[in-house]
Structures are given as C-alpha cells and as structure tokens.
C-alpha cells in the first residue's frame, strides 16, 4: 500500500514536471496564501505585543486615578474653578480601603527649564520616592528623590534621559542647577534616569505617556514652591488652574484585588461624578481589552488568509480540471489497463496535494523570513529616504513582527486541506468518465 502511494507520488511529480510553468503558477496561489497568513499574523502579533507591553508597564496591580479638566459647562463662568483630586481624598482612600498597599500622588505642570543659555519645554513632575519603582524608572547616575528630601521640601530634581541630553549637552548634569523661570526657582540635579519607552495612553489622552521630557522633584517641594494655583501661558493669554493632584497611582496588595478595589475607589470618589473631573484607569482591564482586541485581530486576519487560500485552491481546481480534460485519453488507457476509479482519484489527488504542499512549504519558508525581510526593508528605507522614514508612524518604524508558532502548522494544514478539497472534484470528474468514451477522446 505504501509502495503504491509512493509510486503514485512519483508519477504525479513526473506529470507535474511535464508542465513546469503551469505547476509553478498554480503553486503560487497557495504560496502567497500561506506566506500571507504567517506575515499577517506575525505583524499583528508584533503590534499587539507592543501594546500589551506598554500597558503592562503601567503595572498590572495598579489603579490610576487622573484628574481631567471638566467640560466647560461645569466650570463657573467667572474666576478659576478648582477641580480634580484632593490631598484629603488621597488620605481618605488610603485609610479606608485596606487592599491599597500604597498610593503615589503626582502633580505635574508644564514648565520651561533653563541651564546657562539653553531653554527647553518640559513637564515638572512632583512625586514621591516610590514613583520610580512603580513606573519602572531606572536611575542612570546619581539617585532618585528620597523621603528625607521630600519631607524637607528640598529644591532637588531628577532629569529624564532626554532632558539631560538637551539641557546639558556633553556635560555631566549632576549637582548643576536647573532654573525654572516661571517660578524663579533653582533645582539641584541629584540624578539622571535611563531612557524609557513610552507607555500606554491613560486618562483619555490619545498620546502614549512619554516620560522623556520630565523633571522630577519632591511633591512637597512643588506644593510649597508652586502651590495648587498655577498660571499657564496658552496661546499668548494666561490661564489659571487650581488643582491639588494630577494623578494618584494606587498599588493594590495583589492582582486579584484590582477590580474590587477599583470599584470601591470609584464609589468613594462619587463626588467627582458630577464634575466629570476624574478618570479611573485600570491597566489590568486595558490588558484584558488588548487581549480581546488581539483575538479579534487574529480572527480577522485568519479570515483574510482563509480567503486567499480559497482563491489559491480555486486556482488549483481550475488547473486540475483543465488537466483532467487534457489527459482524458490517458485516463481511458489507464482504466482499460486495470485502473479502478479509486486509482484515478488517487492519481489526481496526489497531484493536487503535491502542488499545494510544495506551495505551502515554500510559503512557510517565505513566512518565516518575515522578520529579517521587514527589518531589511526598513533599513533600506532609512538609508535611502530618511525623510520618508521619519514621516512613517511610530508603529511602523518600530514594528517587529513576532511569528505566531501555531500559524506554521495551521497554514501548512490548511494548504494540505485545500489541496484535498479542491482536488477531489477534478479527480472525481476524471474517475467518473467511462473508459470507452475516454479512449475515444482525441
């Protein structure tokens, strides 16, 4: 039996070899189908993993509460309306909800920073020492803010890597003063952070959280030096803002407590519902959402791939039907010499399976080189057309396709199935012919 299939296979290859161009073009359909399955899945997986990484970097066991500017009809027409999170509320949350392990208040203000003749725009972030750990900021040199510095409200600051580069090009920023012209303060640099990738957008803003323009100072220092009322320049006119805290990051005692804690927090902050001035972000939920999105993406991609494979299959069927007609005489001869219907079915089925399997296998090879192919193309674009490259969205620039391991056996299996399914009808047509009529065929 095995020998029979082996010989039929030999015969099939021989017949396909008689028309190399035709066989090649037929395989192309399956090749493209399989390669595109692997590519599409790898690209979507790459994007999805990046999204998940960004969300995970917010911390899966955290709950983030952000103050957001309320809609204008909620603001009183005159003067400046205070809004957002209060320090009292922070104390209230920490003291009443036992599943909160710690809480990090943050106050952030857009400011200009100066050193000698360099001035840059950035974000002044008042925070506590734990902030570095929770947001996974690593210190490159010096140290992060300490409890003592926060308690004593010292004028010290820690620079993000990019700020350090821009404000102190080629110089060591440690122990140098950074001047904030708007509040006429100097802050001594005590540490510089390592570069950090952006994390997922939170609090309704679309942009990813970018930590690269931050200068961190103790939150108590900020409270004393700048206070809750801040005047900001915006388009030439000044705008006021009364806000105690921009954000509270709550760290729960375990991931299981995240959801219950989040609903408790939301209930506790009901007074804000009316103002619509806070947003509660649960990274865990975002993560789950991202996974659901990934599933949907995969299904969608699968559908696209399935369509292309079906198109490839129809190509195979088309060619095989033509082949069956062309080889009617041969079928008649074989039937007269003792071939059963099943022998004829097997012969044609083997040919379609060979076509689809070879197409599938080469498709897999093309699929697996997806990653090097994309980075090569990217490097070429980077070299030849730097401007075009810079204009590309960041997702495209940083895209690293991740091959989904399951996609390889699935693609291969599908290509075999396509071969069988679309080969059956032509094979059946071939076997159904009466040997007498087939012999008469010219």
Partner 1 sequence: MISTPTRSACSVRDLKKEYVLKGETVRALRGVFFDVPEGDYVAIMGPSGSGKSTLLNMLGCLDKPSSGQLLLGEDDVAKMSDDELAEIRSRRIGFVFQSYNLIQQLTVVENIQVPLFYQGKLGKKESDRCVELAHMVGLAGRLSHRPNQLSGGQQQRVAIARSLVNDPYFILADEPTGNLDSRTTEEILQLFHRLNDEGRTIILVTHEDEVAKRAKRVVRLKDGVVQWDRSNTEESRREAAENAIRNLPVES
- Reported as type and span, the H/E element at residue 348 is helix 341-368
Q: Which of 205, 325, 342, 377 binds partner 1 (CB under 8 A)?
A: 342
Judged by CB under 8 A, the residue of 334, 352, 353, 429 near partner 1 is 334
Q: Using the rule CB under 8 A, is 7 a contact of partner 1?
A: yes
x/- track of binding to partner 1 for residues 15-44 (CB under 8 A): x--x--------------------------
> Is-contact 64 280, C-beta < 8 A?
yes
Q: What is the DSSP letter of 208?
A: P
- Please list the alpha-helical segments (H only) found in 250-340: 258-268, 271-275, 283-326, 328-336
| The binder of partner 1 chosen from 136, 220, 294, 341 (CB under 8 A) | 341
- Rounded to the nearest 10 degrees, what angle do helices 328-336 and 341-368 cross at? 130
Q: Does 333 bind partner 1 (CB under 8 A)?
A: yes
Interface with partner 1 includes 338 (CB under 8 A)? yes
CA distance 424 to 316: 11
Should residue 336 be labelled a site residue for partner 1 when binding is judged by CB under 8 A?
Answer: yes
CB of 391 to partner 1, least distance (A): 56
Q: Does 231 bind partner 1 (CB under 8 A)?
A: no
Evaluated on CA atoms 218, 224, 226, 230, the torsion sign reads positive
- Does position 74 interact with partner 1 (CB under 8 A)? The reply is no
Whole-number CA gyration radius for the chain: 33
Size of the site for partner 1 (CB under 8 A): 25
Alpha carbon distance 9, 16 (integer Å): 10
* Environment class of 401 (CB within 10 Å of its CB; exposed 0-12, middle 13-18, buried 19+): buried
C-alpha span between 436 and 338 (Å, rounded)? 13
Contact with partner 1 (CB under 8 A) among 49, 139, 435, 441: 435
Stretch near partner 1 under the rule CB under 8 A, chosen from 64-72, 209-217, 258-266, 340-348: 340-348
Options 13-21, 62-70, 93-101, 270-278: segment touching partner 1 (CB under 8 A): 13-21
Sole window of 61-69, 149-157, 277-285, 329-337 interacting with partner 1 (rule: CB under 8 A): 329-337
- Which part of the chain contacts partner 1 (CB under 8 A), choosing from 66-74, 278-286, 335-343, 396-404? 335-343
* 329 belongs to the binding site for partner 1 (CB under 8 A): yes
Q: Per CB under 8 A, does 332 bind partner 1?
A: yes
Tokens encoding 441: 């065929």
Question: Based on CB atoms, which residue is closest to partner 1, 2 or 238?
Answer: 2
CA distance 415 to 410: 9
Cβ count near 240 (within 10 Å): 11
Task: Give me the residues that bind partner 1 (CB under 8 A), please.
Answer: 1, 3-4, 7, 14-15, 18, 329-330, 332-343, 434-436, 439
């Amino acid at each position: 039996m095995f020998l029979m299939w082996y010989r039929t296979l030999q015969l099939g290859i021989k017949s396909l070899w008689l028309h190399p161009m035709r066989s090649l073009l037929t395989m192309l359909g399956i090749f493209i189908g399989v390669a595109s399955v692997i590519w599409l899945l790898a690209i979507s997986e790459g994007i999805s993993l990046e999204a998940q990484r960004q969300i995970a970097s917010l911390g899966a066991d955290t709950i983030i509460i952000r103050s957001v500017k309320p809609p204008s009809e909620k603001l009183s027409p005159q003067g400046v309306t205070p809004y957002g999170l209060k320090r009292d509320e922070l104390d209230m949350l920490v003291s009443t909800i036992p599943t909160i392990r710690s809480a990090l208040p943050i106050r952030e203000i857009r400011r200009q920073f100066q050193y000698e003749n360099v001035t840059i725009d950035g974000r002044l972030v008042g925070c506590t020492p734990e902030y570095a750990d929770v947001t996974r900021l690593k210190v490159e040199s010096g140290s992060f803010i300490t409890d003592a510095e926060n308690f004593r409200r010292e004028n010290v600051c820690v620079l993000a890597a990019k700020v350090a580069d821009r404000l102190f090009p080629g110089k060591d920023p440690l122990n140098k003063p950074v001047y904030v012209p708007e509040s006429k303060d100097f802050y001594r640099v005590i540490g510089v952070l390592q570069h950090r990738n952006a994390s997922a957008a939170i609090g309704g803003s679309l942009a990813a959280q970018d930590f690269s323009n931050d200068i961190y100072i103790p939150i108590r220092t900020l409270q004393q030096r700048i206070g809750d009322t801040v005047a900001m320049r915006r388009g030439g006119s000044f705008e006021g803002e009364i806000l105690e805290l921009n954000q509270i990051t709550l760290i729960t005692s375990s991931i299981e407590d995240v959801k219950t804690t989040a609903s408790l927090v939301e209930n506790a902050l009901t007074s804000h519902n009316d103002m619509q001035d806070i947003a509660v972000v649960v990274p865990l939920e975002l993560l789950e959402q991202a996974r659901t999105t990934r599933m949907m993406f995969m299904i969608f991609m699968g559908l696209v791939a399935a369509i292309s494979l079906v198109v490839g299959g129809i190509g195979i069927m088309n060619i095989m039907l033509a082949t069956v007609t062309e080889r009617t005489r041969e079928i008649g001869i074989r039937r007269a010499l003792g071939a059963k219907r099943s022998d004829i079915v097997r012969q044609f089925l083997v040919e379609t399976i060979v076509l689809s399997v070879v197409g599938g296998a080469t498709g897999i090879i093309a699929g697996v080189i997806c990653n090097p192919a994309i980075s090569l193309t990217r490097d070429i674009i980077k070299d030849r057309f730097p401007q075009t490259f810079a204009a590309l969205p960041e997702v495209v620039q940083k895209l690293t396709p991740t091959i989904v391991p399951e996609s390889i056996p699935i693609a291969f299996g599908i290509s075999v199935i396509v071969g069988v399914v679309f080969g059956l009808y032509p094979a059946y047509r071939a076997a159904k012919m009466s040997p007498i009529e087939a012999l008469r065929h010219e």
